[in-house]
Structure formats: structure tokens, C-alpha cells
Amino acid sequence: MYESTLYFAGRLLYDVERISKKINRDREEYRVYKELCNILGEENVLREEPMRAHTTFRIGGPADYFVTPESEEQVQAVIGLSRREKIPYYILGNGSNLLVGDQGYRGVIIQIYKKMSKIRIEDHEIHAQAGALLSKIAARALDASLTGFEFASGIPGTLGGAVMMNAGAYGGEMKHVLKSATVLTPEGEIQTLTLEELELGYRTSIVARKGYTVLSAVIALESGKQEEIRAYMEDLKERRVTKQPLEYASAGSTFKRPEGYFAGKLIQDSGLRGYSVGDAQISEKHSGFVINRGNATAAEVLSLIQHVQDTVEEKFGVRLETEVKRIGEF
């Protein structure tokens, strides 16, 4: 009887402590939510927002906070709050090149996209905010008969991500056209970096290495003939449609190109074309893409990627690195 009483007393104490911790946690989360609302307005702050609705992979659990700032000052204030409160944060564009864990993201997702996407043209330069889609910038360049940005017309991302990763396609890269970028340091300082200071390399930059946030950038182009620019963009579009699995959700090209090889060919030559784990599949159209055939989970995608890496390494001695970023709890 005495032991039974002790057990139930201990159990009651445990339950009381657990409930107390949950109440304190809920209270703290609500306080942070209200502070975010004070910075951004309630309409720009969401709680427990499913990330599958904001990634091109259509995969991902809920983010604790999902915010959509409308100005550089708001971005600065949200990052400042996150750092003071020791809350993780992640800068999101349109959600390409990203895999979010099935359990979601414990922290603040800061989406710099449609509400920070202004584009203006000054002579041969395009000044654009980080949330501007590369396809929109390419279209504006076409309208102004400016050439040099055609390569980016089909890259499914925003300018901020393109600067950070030195995005490229069909022989062109951001380092060929960037003049400068304005960034926010983790310490809250706004700086304008020249092309040289950006230190752009293959899918990397000083922005990625130091955790900077791109706010805007200047792109320098040359005068061209509009009909030739349009024809080249149409040609690139035709190549993408015929060679890439655009009919399925994906994060884009899944693996980096290993030196001296092509990732897609290594995967295909390993007999993995069409290989799947659940609804995650190696595309039959282009083996360099992992696609979501409908209801793929992040766990399935990771399992598939691991199998591809192991198989290719076993057959060819090359360890493929992923180009797709991973965040959240898996």
C-alpha cells in the first residue's frame, strides 16, 4: 500500500511538472508570436504553418513561426529578435532547392519572396530585391533588350538564393552578371558587397559561408536584339521541358556535379533510373532529379538519396554530394 501510494504520488508530481513546463512553453511561444506581430503585423505571421505548402518539393512539416517581411528593416528586426531569443531562423525564397523534415522546423522561417520582389531597370543594370523570381528578372531583361541573363530564365528560384549559391545553368552563372549585392550580416549590419567580395564559386559564396542574408542585388547586362534574346530563351525552355521532369514536384537538380563527371549519368549507369522509395523516385526523364510522385515524405527522399550515394560510390568510387539543402526535424 505504501509503495503504491509513493508510485502514484511520484506519477502525479511528474504530470504536474510536465503540464507546468508545457504551460510555460506555450506562454513563451505566444510572447514571441506577439513580438513578431508587433514587427510585421499579424497578417504576416503564421504559427504551425505546413512547409509543404511553401516548397517546390511539396514536402515538409509545420514551422513554429512563418513570417513574410515587406522591408529590409523588418528582416533586420526579425533576425535581431531571433538572435536575442536564441531561436533558430532560416531564410526562404520560393522554396526550391530545399527539403524540410517531416516533423517541421523548430524556429522562424523568414520568407523573402513576393512581398520583397521589386525590379527596376537603370540603363544596362537591373536592380532587384532578393525575393524577385529569376524568371521575372529574365522577362524584364527581355523587355528592355538586355542580354546575358537568359541562362537564368528557367531556374526555379529567387535572386537571393541565386546569389548565395551562385546559381547557374547552360554555361551561365550569377558570377558572370552580378555587379553587387546588399546583404544583412548575422550581427544586424547592412553591407553592400562587390562581385569580388562575394567570392562566388561553384554553388557557394561568402553569403553562404558567413550566414549573410541577401536583401537585393544589381545585375549588369549588355544591349542585345530582343528577337535573338527571345529565341535563345525559347530554346532553353524547350531543352528544359524535354529533358527535365517539370511535370513533378521536385527541389530541382538533387546532386552537385562531381569534378570530371555528370551526376545524372553516374546514377543512370548505376541502374538507378526510375528507382523509388515510397513516392520518392529517381526521375526516368533525368536521373539527376529526385521527384515527388504524389505523397513522398522527407524520410523517403533521404533514404533514396542515401541509396543513390552508396550505389554510385560502390560502382564508380565517386561520392555524390547533395545540392538540395535540408532543414528541420526528420
Catalytic residues: 203, 253, 323
Pairing mode, if any, of strands 172-173 and 178-184?
Answer: unpaired
**Which three cell numbers mark 66?**
512563418
Residue 209 CA to residue 201 CA, distance in Å, equals: 11
Helix or strand (DSSP H, E) at 55: none
Residue 218 DSSP class: E
Sheet of 178-184: strand order equals: 119-122, 125-129, 213-220, 178-184, 190-194
State whether the Cα torsion 146-148-149-151 is positive or negative. positive
CA dist., res. 232 & res. 236, Å (int) = 6
Q: How far is CA 59 from the centre of its chain?
A: 12
DSSP string for 252-290: EE-B---TTS-HHHHHHHTT-TT-EETTEEE-SS-TTEE
Per DSSP, the three-state class of 69 is coil
E strand spans, the chain:
45-50, 62-67, 89-92, 98-100, 105-111, 119-122, 125-129, 146-147, 168-169, 172-173, 178-184, 190-194, 213-220, 222-223, 249-253, 276-277, 280-282, 289-292, 325-327
